[in-house]
Amino acid sequence: MSTTKVIIFSLIMTSISAFILAGLFYATAPMAKKGEEVFNKRAILGAVKNYVDDYENLTDDQVLSIFDEIDQIAIDMKGNTLKDIQADKVDLAQERKKPEADRILPFFKYTTGGKSYYILSTRGKGLWDDIWGYIALESDLRTIAGASFDHKGETPGLGAEIKDNESFSANFIGKTIYDLDGTYNPVMVAKGPAKPNTNTVDGISGATITGDGVGDMVVKWLEYYEPYLDKIKSDSKIGMK
């Protein structure tokens, strides 16, 4: 077979392939976008799952409608509100690449039954790849009401337990990020079982590095929110002793 024929064959072949894929991509793009949106919002709601009715069985549309009720604010590192940016559009993976001072933080306020929960976002590094999580604070802005974690590529059965094992995130409930006098003293992940009556949660045996990663990211990112939390406190006198 001559070279010309080979070239013509490959041109026709790749054009057909490109045409099919481009068409399908544009046809499915809106659905894929919705899928991703629901997936992310469901994860954020995971931090307050104890306060969402029937969280495990929420349909996609329910997730979106609950989220419509949530107040969301994007803030900068100095605690200023950024009006032009939508908090649920902030991509923490990108923010983590920026210098610390330029990072933008999403902030969500979920209100149900007259009580408000403040959801803070965190992102860090596990053993193999990125890990991230959402921490919900009670309205006193110091007690943790719930947490949810996820990861990109931690080992199943070990590091991946931060997501798969409900009890890991459940242990964060009731821990605090500030001492009573207002000193920043966030919850830590212990190596092995947590000592009783300390502000620590159980580590995962066999996943010390992932556990440390969770601890580091929580400590680092919750502190980012401090200027903004201080503003809320001084506005409403919450938690002021």
- Which residues contact other proteins (rule: CB under 8 A)? 1, 5-6, 9-10, 13-14, 17, 20-21, 24-25, 28-29, 31-32, 35-36, 38-39, 155-158, 206
> Kindly report the CA angle at 31 between 26 and 36, in degrees rounded to 5?
115
Backbone angles phi, psi at 110, to 5 degrees: -105, 125
Residue 17 Cβ vs other proteins, minimum distance, rounded to whole Å:
4
CB-side neighbour CA atoms (13 Å) of 182: 11
Q: Which residue number, 14 or 81, has a Cβ lying nearer to other proteins?
A: 14
Q: Which residue number, 100 or 164, has a Cβ lying nearer to other proteins?
A: 164
- Of the candidates 164, 109, 163, the residue with the CA atom closest to the CA atom of residue 136: 109
Residue 157 Cβ vs other proteins, minimum distance, rounded to whole Å:
3
Residue 39 Cβ vs other proteins, minimum distance, rounded to whole Å:
5
Q: Which residue number, 1 or 101, has a Cβ lying nearer to other proteins?
A: 1
Q: Which residue number, 126 or 186, has a Cβ lying nearer to other proteins?
A: 126
Backbone angles phi, psi at 207, to 5 degrees: -135, 50
Strands 188-189 and 200-201, how do they pair? parallel
Q: Which amino acid is at 56?
A: E
- End-to-end Cα spacing for the chain: 86
Residue 36 Cβ vs other proteins, minimum distance, rounded to whole Å:
6
Q: Are 119 and 92 in contact (CB under 8 A)?
A: no
Sequence-ordered list of residues with C-beta below 8 angstroms from that of 69, at least 6 positions apart, any chain: 110, 111
Residue 38 Cβ vs other proteins, minimum distance, rounded to whole Å:
7
Q: Which residue number, 32 or 93, has a Cβ lying nearer to other proteins?
A: 32
Q: Which residue number, 129 or 140, has a Cβ lying nearer to other proteins?
A: 129
Write out the E strands in the chain: 71-76, 81-82, 104-112, 115-125, 130-137, 144-151, 188-189, 200-201
Residue 44 Cβ vs other proteins, minimum distance, rounded to whole Å:
15
